[in-house]
Amino acid sequence: MTEQQPHPQPQPQPQEEGLTTRPPHSPHPSHRHTDWMFGGVYGTVLASALIAALNQDGEDFTPFYDASWVLVTAATAGLAHGYAHHMASHREDPGGHGHRWRLLARALWDEWPLVVATLPTVLLLTAAGLGDWDAYDVTAGGLGLNTALLFGWGVLVALRVGHRLGRALLFGLADAAIGLAIIVANALIK
């Protein structure tokens, strides 16, 4: 009689951690404080696109109106972004509804850099309204200012996460290229 080999018993596989059991992820220490820098880049790009879009050739220049729309759009984008982050990471929480509301409030509050990054454009438009400046000069100046700010954001973020200066300058140029793309689009569209 041949001896039968016992069939190996299937070993229980460790279950993948689901959304409800995953421990909170702690970012790498060098990346911990870069979220506000992301908001800075995002807000600056948003302000550049808005200053380009709000000024139309042949129409009255309304810098106070434009400044208010830059702020309203930035605040709305920040709220939408924070809410989307909250919902994407939403877990069944034993802390109850109150804890979820606090997490939502925190997610929304974390978007303040996006709004703050639009303030140079808002201040420029406000100064333009007070000083009765030319629309073309304000738009060109705002796009140039924001492109320079994007370069600075790129360098700052790259240095913050550990890149050397030469590489950080390349990141700054890449961010500035976004500003240049908005300038080119503005010229082509108008």
Task: Judge whether residue 90 has pLDDT over 80.
Answer: no
Per-residue pLDDT reduced to its tens digit, 105-148: 888 888 899 999 999 999 999 999 999 999 999 999 999 999 99
Q: Give the pTM.
A: 0.76
On average, the pLDDT of the chain sits at 83
Name the band, by pLDDT with cuts 50, 70 and 90, for residue 91.
Answer: low
* CA 21/CA 60 separation, integer angstroms: 57
How many angstroms from the chain centroid is the CA of residue 60? 31
CA atoms within 13 A on the CB side of 53: 10
The 3-state secondary structure of the chain reads CCCCCCCCCCCCCCCCCCCCCCCCCCCCHHHCCCHHHHHHHHHHHHHHHHHHHHCCCCCCCCHHHHHHHHHHHHHHHHHHHHHHHHHHCCCCCCCCHHHHHHHHHHHHHCCHHHHHCCHHHHHHHHHHHHHCCCHHHHHHHHHHHHHHHHHHHHHHHHHHCCCCHHHHHHHHHHHHHHHHHHHHHHHHHC
Q: How far is CA 150 from CA 10, 16, 79, 110, 122, in A?
A: 56, 40, 22, 20, 16
Among 136, 122, 137, smallest CA distance to 70 is for 122
* CA 86/CA 80 separation, integer angstroms: 10
pLDDT of residue 23: 38
pLDDT of residue 180: 97
Task: Judge whether residue 69 has pLDDT over 50.
Answer: yes
Per-residue pLDDT reduced to its tens digit, 145-159: 999 999 999 999 899
